[in-house]
Structure 1
Amino acid sequence: MNFNRLCMPTLRFIKTTASQCNDKEESGTTGEKEKGGRMPKHVAIILDGNRRWAEKRGLGPSQGQEAGARTVMENVKDYFSMGINTVSLFAFSTENWGRPGDEVKYIMDMFEKIVKSEMPNLRRYGVKVSVIGKRTNIPESLLHLIGEAEEATKNNKEKQLIVALDYSGKFDILQACKSLAEKAKNGLINVEDIDENLMDKELMTSCSEFPNPDLLIRTSGEQRISNFYLWQSAYTELYFPSVLWPDFGGAEYLEALDWYQKKQRRFGLRV
């Protein structure tokens, strides 16, 4: 896809609108700042629909996963357009281990190939890579590559790619609670001091300056978040396009950002 040729008019419109809004925000109230036109700092994406995409074409699940991976690699640089700092990709949930063994092995092997092939590009783009999740069942060879990728990109600040691999929102909250309980038990913190800020610091998304997504996109038309970012998505705008993930290109991404710009974010307040 030639992203610039297809989408530059829309891109210029969004950039102009975002710039005008940001200029107004400097002197506006909190309510005024959230009235639309503002770009998200953190976009989370649930990459859904790979298998259905393959089935519609008479292909196997592995070919759908490969097509989905190709979509990520072709568009990852553009996900950070217009000042977006953090992009999270829900690539493999803890529940996905229940899929057929050959499909899971293919996905793990595919992740290894992607890390190897895309690391030079991500370093060149100045993207910080963070992988969150349990890691206990991840193959050692993949864990080694993940460690290398995180180390090589750790000093990048303006763009961060979070890949959720063997991730569970429930587990994330549970491990954070256990960590806070252990710290309280050892006298490192007082129970009465535990608040949302301390909780945020214990969650896996604490690796980002913007841990809570402003916009969450789930492709394929399914309208649920499937155990992804349960704590972090309390006030996230949820966008559910019907397009299957392998077909979610630059134009579809810009449509999601345009939709977000038009939202009035209240955070439970009346503005």
Structure 2
Amino acid sequence: MKRTHERRMAVHAIGDIGSLPLSLQDAIARAEEATRGYDGMHLNIALAYGGRRELVDVARLMAEKVRMGTLSPDDVDEEVIAHHLYTRDAITSDVDLIIRTGGDMRVSNFLLWQSCGNESAAYFCAPYWPEFRRIDLLRAIRTYQMRGERSEEKDRPSGGEPACCMRPCGSDRGHTALTKDS
């Protein structure tokens, strides 16, 4: 946590946190509270998360608000939907980097709304989340940096590679999303 504070990195957990053991809920709450208000990067860790489940929960929550008269169906737009996502307090911009652990080379059912339509970098890594090491994080960050470099090359008259970079690193089940304030 020392480096998290030094770098003013805000930590957020997303997903159905209430379904997790109380000891884990308490640890999450402490980490989030300790980094609340930090304006550096945002580290969003998905636990008990599924993109489809999130969208169903959003629909149910908004339907309940319509039933109670606190939300008009005519007011529902992209911004209103985004305000009801699990990530409403965690992500301040589109997702920049998705780290997929566990060796799967896909990001299916993960941050469906948040990563749609932008040029997120995806980093695939062999270690499972508990074995995820500092070097794995550094490689993932380099993947993100390469995406930015490629995007800049693409904007140059000479062309360049696609802005999205998907790079395998190993095997690990889980997802993490990093965002930065624009």
TM over 0.5: yes
Q: Is 1:248 the counterpart of 2:130 in the alignment? A: no
2 CA distance for matches of 1:260 and 1:136? 36
SS of the counterpart of 1:136?
Answer: helix
Q: Which has the higher contact order (CA 8 A, sep 6+)?
A: 1
Report deviation, 1:208: 3.6
- Which runs of 5 or more residues in structure 2 are unaligned? 155-161, 164-182
Instruction: State how far apart, in whole Å, the 2-side matches of 1:125 and 1:149 are.
Output: 14
- Using the alignment, how far apart are the partners of 1:211 and 1:229 within structure 2? 13
Would you say 1:200 and 2:88 are equivalent positions?
A: no
1:178 paired with 2:66, answer: no
Q: Number of matched residues?
A: 148
- 1:163 aligns to what? 45
Q: Which whole-Å CA distance do the structure 2 matches of 1:251 and 1:214 have between them?
A: 15
State the match for 1:230 in structure 2.
Answer: 112
CA 1:226–1:248 in structure 2 vs 1: closer, same or farther (change >3 Å)?
Answer: same
User: Larger Rg: 1 or 2?
Assistant: 1
Residue 142 of structure 1: aligned partner: 24
Partner secondary structure for residue 19 of structure 2: coil
Instruction: Note the 1:92-103 alignment, pairs <5 A.
Output: none
Deviations 1:36-78 (A, max 9, x none): xxxxxxxxxxxxxxxxxxxxxxxxxxxxxxxxxxxxxxxxxxx
Tell me which amino acid in the other structure corresponds to 1:181: A
SS at match of 1:225: coil
Higher helix share goes to which structure?
1
Q: Secondary structure at the match of 2:114?
A: coil
1:218–1:240: 8 Å Cα contact kept in structure 2? yes
Contact 1:221-1:240 within 8 A present in 2 as well: no
Which deviations, in whole Å up to 9, do the C-alpha atoms of 1:141-168 show, x marking residues without a partner? Answer: 1111211221222121233221111111
Tell me the distance in 2 between the aligned counterparts of 1:186 and 1:132.
26
Shift of 1:193: 1.2
Which stretches in structure 1 are left out of the alignment for 5+ residues? 1-118, 267-271
- What secondary structure does 2:11 align onto? strand
Identity of aligned residues (%): 28
Report the CA distance shift for 1:208/1:148 in structure 2 as closer, same or farther (over 3 A). Answer: closer
> Matched residue of 1:205: which SS?
helix
Shift of 1:181: 1.0
Shift of 1:235: 1.6
2:73 aligns to what? 191
2:35 maps to 153
Aligned 8 A contact 1:239 1:256 in 2 = yes
The alignment status of 1:259 with 2:147, answered yes or no, reads yes
